[in-house]
Structure 1
Amino acid sequence: MASEIPTSFLGWVAKGKTAAEGHLEFMEFTPKPFADDDVDIKITHCGVCASDIHTLRSGWGETDYPIVVGHEIVGTVVRKGKNVREIEVGDRVGVGAQCYSCLNCNQCNKGKEQYCPDYVWTYGMRFANGSKSYGGYAEYGRYPASFVFQLPESVSSDIVAPMLCGGLTVYSPLKRYGAGPKKTVGIVGIGGLGHFGVLFASALGASKVYAISRTRRKESDIRKMGATDFIATSEPGWVENNMQSIDLIISTANDVSIPMSDYLKLLTVGGTLVQCGVPEGGLPNFDLNPFIFNDVHLAGTLIGGRQEMKDMLQLVASKNIKSWIETKPMSSVNDVIQLMDDGKARFRYVLVN
């Protein structure tokens, strides 16, 4: 089988910032040299994440072009290194936003591999040998096996793909900050991440799940996902009518006009707001009074660790959680990233080879 795997891969390559405008090119790229701890994956599905678009246009800093984005990858293992024990050729597996950590530092030993000082993201970063990581808008991918995950048989590839980054990014803080019975949870921003926030908060048994969005346009859908309450921030009195009503808020908002001071007022005494979204222009200024007079907490989060990934996949299988997706051919990727950037996703696009 290994002899049939090409030494260079084919994928949708971005050569510069204009790629975000629909100018990815289907061409060869050279993956990292194959190592004894690696696996090669024939990619069948890849979710489209907002991070892909930010990276394509260098929105979070200058991107190391050329690049192949995509970090919600599902496929079949076609080659494995001699040190790989828990994965076999033929297994259906997934790869999320991170593909490497040292596995030996204090953070890795705590199950927080995403904060390892030697982390490598699944695309756009360099390994210790100088080779570059390439993502899932491609026919094949090559990744260290320690960040390649077995997928539950009961969960289809298209459903699970966007959970590998988008789902994990909200599952991690929900679990870490105790979303469950007797806890009220609010989800800000009802897009790809936000809809996972509602699905997972409901599955974890939160007593109430507030969906917080600018308008009520998505209210019907989001209630079907498990939201018990809805706050529309374009309506007068939304802050006053909901003050001190939510224990934990997960904010997926991704623009510089986030009304952070108002969101903090929604928290109960001692409550926590966790910011997941990363606006390209940074967060706006906000009032310190809620911190002083209401003992609230503001936190941040970055994807999740390997055990959290496994726990999330187990929850998805046991609760039969379904991503709300629309599948598109991988060949239509240039159109899809434009649809995604225009806010057309309901609620996640998945590219299919």
Structure 2
Amino acid sequence: MSTNYKFEGWCGLDPSAVEGNMKWQRYDPKPFTEDDVDIRISHCGICGSDIHTLRSGWGETNYPCVVGHEIIGEAVRVGQNVKHIKEGDRVGVGAQASSCLKPNCEACADGPENHCSGMVGTYGSVYPDGSKSYGGYADYNRTPSHFVFKIPESIPSADAAPMLCAGITVYSPLKREGCGPGKKVGIIRLGGLGHFGVLFAKALGANKVVVISRTRSKEADAAKMGADAFIATEEDPEWAKQNANSLDLIISTVSSPNMPLGGYLALLRTNGTFVQVGAPEDELPGFVAFSLILKRCKIAGSCIGAPHEIQEMLQLAAEKKVKPWIQERPLRDANQAIVDMESGKARYVHVPVNEKPRDT
């Protein structure tokens, strides 16, 4: 294929972008190297991180910014140093585009490259050469090949896209903390992340999966996804007492600081673990130390996942036929999709589809 194609996409120019004010325009990607892959984008899931970034919720965004880090498409240009991808392959990119990959880097050498201090996000970050990273609400993406993955044939592109961020964000701590047969797992909030939490906890063989939410408005959906029980914290006054000491592991996908953390910790059994993966823009509330001390519990955090974990997750999804709940949207309607996502209308992931990339 000719390399004479334009990099154009939906650019956030200021915090008003989150209100549906992204502009379609051209931008300059990082200079191509023989370690890179160019992707003609077909699908790109909308992630909560896109919302936070567009409005500078986690700090000032490096505008202009093309968000989107759940990218699926066709490899149309592959550097000579790349061995695991060839032109024409269906590939994907998640939330990470680069790490230092130095042998003396503790994170890169030991495997959790997503925690490398030199980590470059798929959008809104800066590569070592000073060029910016741009995401997937666009026609094309350019990413270093180490963070480009072949997609199993059995997984549809629209399903695979949100797995590359939302999926891996919950899969990684579930697997790391021993989710499997005999384990009882709680998933807080049934949204994009949370619904993947239910799906992957079941795929990993958890004995019981409990959804924890404010109300029972999504209880029927949770049951259809495979959840075994449901706790509604605003409708059941005695929820913490009635369900105390019942869970081995809790994954919190809440992105609001207004959470009853003490109540959540009460649900844990001895040696239980609470993992926070949702990233609020404000500080989390405090808790009583005895919530941890008396049951030898721990609080942990987790951020996306390493490349080997993404590959492992995709294999599991293919084998277990993990089917996310998605709503496809035309890429041309990305502004409205962002507004709908922000207002909570997604059930449970919006995936913009780029039907006709504009080649030159």
Q: Provide TM-score, normalisation by structure 2.
A: 0.96
Q: How far does residue 2 in structure 1 lie from its aligned partner after superposition?
A: 3.7
The SS at the match of 1:165 is helix
Deviation at 1:256, TM superposition (A): 1.4
Question: Which residue matches 2:152?
Answer: 152
Q: What are the within-5 Å matches in structure 2 for residues 30-69 of structure 1? A: 30-69=28-67
Q: Which amino acid aligns with 1:45?
A: H
Shift of the alpha carbon at 1:289? 1.5
- Give the corresponding residue for 2:353: 352
Q: After superposition, give the CA deviation of every residue in 1:14-55 in whole Å (9 maximum; x if it has no partner).
A: 111000110000110110000110010000000000000000
3-state SS of 2:347 partner:
coil
What is the match of residue 238 of structure 1? 239
Once the 2 structures are TM-superposed, how far is the Cα of residue 331 of structure 1 from its aligned partner?
0.5
Q: In the aligned structure 2, how far is the partner of 1:253 from the partner of 1:76? A: 33
Deviation at 1:86, TM superposition (A): 1.1
Give the Cα separation in 2 of the matches to 1:202 and 1:225: 9
Gaps of at least 5 residues in structure 1 are: none
Query: 2:308 and 2:81 mapped to 1: Cα distance?
Result: 21
Whole-angstrom distance in 2 between the partners of 1:236 and 1:116: 43
Aligned to 1:294, what secondary structure does the other structure show?
coil
Please name the residue that 1:120 is paired with. Answer: 120
Q: Take 1:278 and 1:153, find their aligned partners in 2: how far apart are those partners? A: 32
Paired position in structure 2 for 1:300: 301
Name the CA distance, whole Å, in 2 between partners of 1:252 and 1:125.
24
Task: Tell me which amino acid in the other structure corresponds to 1:294.
Answer: K
Question: Which residue of structure 1 aligns with residue 357 of structure 2?
Answer: none
Q: Distance in 2 between matches of 1:302 and 1:321?
A: 21
Q: Distance in 2 between matches of 1:23 and 1:220?
A: 35
Provide the residue aligned with 2:173 in structure 1.
Answer: 173
Q: Distance in 2 between matches of 1:237 and 1:312?
A: 37
Q: What is the identity percentage for the equivalent residue pairs of Structure 1 and Structure 2?
A: 55
Letter in 2 for 1:100: S
Distance in 2 separating the partners of 1:67 and 1:167 = 23
Q: Give the whole-Å Cα distance in 2 for the aligned partners of 1:183 and 1:93.
A: 33
Which of residues 70, 73, 77 in structure 1 aligns to 2:71?
73
**Superposition misfits of 4+ residues, deviation over 2 angstroms:** none
Query: Which runs of structure 2 are paired with 1:1-353 in the superposition (5 Å)?
Result: 1-3=1-3, 5-6=4-5, 8-104=6-102, 105-234=105-234, 235-353=236-354
CA distance in 2, matches of 1:350, 1:315: 21
* Deviation per residue, 1:305-335 (Å, 9 max, x gap): 0110000000000000001000000000110
Distance 1:200 1:109 in 2: 27
Letter aligned with residue 311 of structure 1: E
Letter in 2 for 1:111: G
What CA distance in whole angstroms lies between the structure 2 residues aligned with 1:197 and 1:251? 9
Query: Within 2, Cα distance between the matches of 1:109 and 1:230?
Result: 41
Taking the aligned partners of 1:80 and 1:184, their CA distance within structure 2 comes to: 44
**C-alpha distance in 2 between matches for 1:337 and 1:203:** 30
Inter-partner Cα distance in structure 1 for 2:185 and 2:155? 26
SS of residue matched to 1:149? strand
Q: In 1, distance between residues paired with 2:257 and 2:303?
A: 19
Q: Distance in 2 between matches of 1:320 and 1:291?
A: 37
Equivalent residue pairs, number: 351
Amino acid at match of 1:62: E
For 1:227-251, what per-residue CA distance to the aligned partner results, in whole angstroms no more than 9, with x for missing partners?
0011111121100100000000000
State the secondary structure of the residue aligned to 2:49: helix
Displacement, 1:267?
0.1
